[in-house]
Structure 1
Amino acid sequence: MIKVVVMDIDGCLTPGEVEEIDLGVLKKLREYNQRSKDDPLIPAITFCTGRPQPYLEAMHQMLSGYLPAIYESGGGMYFPQGYYFRTNPKITESLRQELGRITNLVEERIAKLGIAKIQPGKETSLSLYPTPGYSTSKVLKITSQLFKEENLSYSLVDGLSCINILPPRVDKGEGVRWLSRVMKIRLNDLAGIGDSDGDLPFLRLVGAGACPRNANDKVKKVVKYVSPYSNGKSILDIFNWCIKRNVEAGL
């Protein structure tokens, strides 16, 4: 039984940065989420995103979100009931200090050289967006060399449109394990929707992984369902697939 659908935002619910959000999709998902409180055939909705907390909170509000949700790729959890936040306990003070050092290094040796921009608003991680003339693969190569030279422990993850810099042992898989424990719902009773490498750790954990048509090939190989649609329309399609699975389970 699929009790909760855990989804990424960029490249799944939305086309990504700057692109328009399909408000019709949001309206339909909000209706599903509201009905999930009373209908066991309809899964609830929550998020596991690399986005910072304020963006996650806004998206959660639009879908009438009532379950905890993961932001910064496992770095923190947002609790709409009671309105509070928790940093992943695996992020120690020494890791916070290292992130400060990384931020300074990236600012001086990447951002100021016009190679990539740092996305503002993050507290436990960083995201680098390539500037015109640079690809994500090029930024990843440059940043990897910097991390090797400086002996840094944070990991680099290709997010299709950006490079995510994450604390060691913290990723979306760890985030969803944490979410599962907090919600007291088995991983096998979760569906997951993702599109890029950063989503693989949690898509491999959940009972029913799915992805939009625009997902990369690595993701398509590990999920149980690939939607014939892209972005927002794929989410409605996948959601209906989840409901169908619940109906077929004989609830």
Structure 2
Amino acid sequence: MANPLIRLFVCDIDGCLAEPYRPFDLDALQALAEAAAHAEEGSAAPRLTLCSGRSYPYVEAMTQTLGLAAPVLFESGGGRFDPAAAQVAWHPDFTDALADTLGAVRDWMAAELVPGTALSLDHAKRTQAGLVGPNPEEVAEATGRVRRFLEKRAPALRAFATEVSVDVLSPRLTKKQGLCWLADHLGVALEEVAYIGDSEGDVEALEAVGLPLAPSNADEAVRHAVREAGGHVAEGRVARGTLAAYRQCVARGTEDTPAAA
């Protein structure tokens, strides 16, 4: 049976296009930018876009770096930026009540977690309450405290962590929900979406799409989830892994396209 045609290739940023606090791989990003431009010229290659937990300013900058034309997701799909129209939209499930609850979580983080550490609030975020820091041990300790706090004070919320961040968000505003929102906006079925991710916050999204992917540096749990879902772990780390995955996705589509009579 033929694989579903992939029309949209969605990239996480941290771990898939860049590493926090490290220089960009400019050669790999340039190759991805060229691929994105080619896809927008009417070729059969899937369009490139982003779905990142990062805040709007960083995602907009990466969108411009890659020259993307398709709408992108920031804050794990809490917001959507359309680079062609230069417009931002917020997910309909981001409510005033949720904003108030997240504000209370931020206040607690600022008072109880930040003092005496290298941690800081992720001030640019609106649909999440986030902490960032360069020390993985501090982030891991903060993550445990955040999850215990949520169990007692805000059990409807969830926390996702990486080595450099912990984000609190609604289960209705995860990357999976964001991809559903984006796919519906673009008129694309989830079966026609490829997604590449590397950390725990990506797993649900990877399990929901037609082609789940991961770079070689992805967490072991992510690589396992990708393989279990029938996807592929690319050769190459970070942006080079994503570039290899995109090229494989293009080749896969070419193989499945019937030759002209």
Q: What letter is aligned with 1:13? A: L
| 1:99 Cα deviation from its structure 2 partner | 1.2
Contact 2:140–2:163, Cα closer than 8 Å, also in 1: no
Q: Helix, strand or coil: the match of 2:40?
A: coil
Change (3 A) 1:245 1:108: same
| 1:117 Cα deviation from its structure 2 partner | 2.0
> Number of residue pairs matched?
250
Which residue of the other structure, out of 2, 8, 14, is the alignment partner of 1:10?
A: 14
Q: Which residue of the partner structure matches residue 71 of structure 1?
A: 74
Q: What letter is aligned with 1:248? A: E
Q: What letter is aligned with 1:9? A: I
Q: Which residue of the partner structure matches residue 159 of structure 1?
A: 162
Query: Which structure 2 residues correspond to residues 1-251 of structure 1 after superposition, within 5 A?
Result: 1-14=5-18, 16-114=19-117, 116-130=119-133, 132=135, 134-223=137-226, 224-251=231-258
Quote the Cα distance in structure 2 between the aligned partners of 1:27 and 1:52. 22
Contact 1:212–1:231, Cα closer than 8 Å, also in 2: yes
| 1:152 Cα deviation from its structure 2 partner | 4.9
Contact 2:119–2:139, Cα closer than 8 Å, also in 1: no
| 1:218 Cα deviation from its structure 2 partner | 1.5
Change (3 A) 1:34 1:151: closer
Contact 1:119–1:128, Cα closer than 8 Å, also in 2: yes
| 1:38 Cα deviation from its structure 2 partner | 2.9
Change (3 A) 1:34 1:92: same
More off after superposition, 182-191 vs 138-147: 138-147
Q: Helix, strand or coil: the match of 2:10?
A: strand
Quote the Cα distance in structure 2 between the aligned partners of 1:221 and 1:64. 32
Q: What letter is aligned with 2:7? A: K
Contact 1:115–1:134, Cα closer than 8 Å, also in 2: no
Change (3 A) 1:86 1:133: closer
Deviations 1:202-236 (A, max 9, x none): 11111111111110111111221111210111111
Quote the Cα distance in structure 1 between the aligned partners of 2:169 and 2:243. 30
Contact 2:156–2:170, Cα closer than 8 Å, also in 1: yes
Contact 2:195–2:211, Cα closer than 8 Å, also in 1: yes
Quote the Cα distance in structure 2 between the aligned partners of 1:182 and 1:20. 33
Contact 1:115–1:139, Cα closer than 8 Å, also in 2: no
Quote the Cα distance in structure 1 between the aligned partners of 2:171 and 2:40. 36
Change (3 A) 1:111 1:184: same
Q: Helix, strand or coil: the match of 1:204?
A: helix
Q: Helix, strand or coil: the match of 1:45?
A: strand
| 1:146 Cα deviation from its structure 2 partner | 2.1
Change (3 A) 1:100 1:81: same
TM-score by length of 2: 0.90
Matched residues, percent identical?
A: 27
TM-score by length of 1: 0.94
In structure 2, runs of 5+ residues without a counterpart are: none
Deviations 1:104-141 (A, max 9, x none): 11111111242732122111112223464834332211
Q: Helix, strand or coil: the match of 1:156?
A: strand
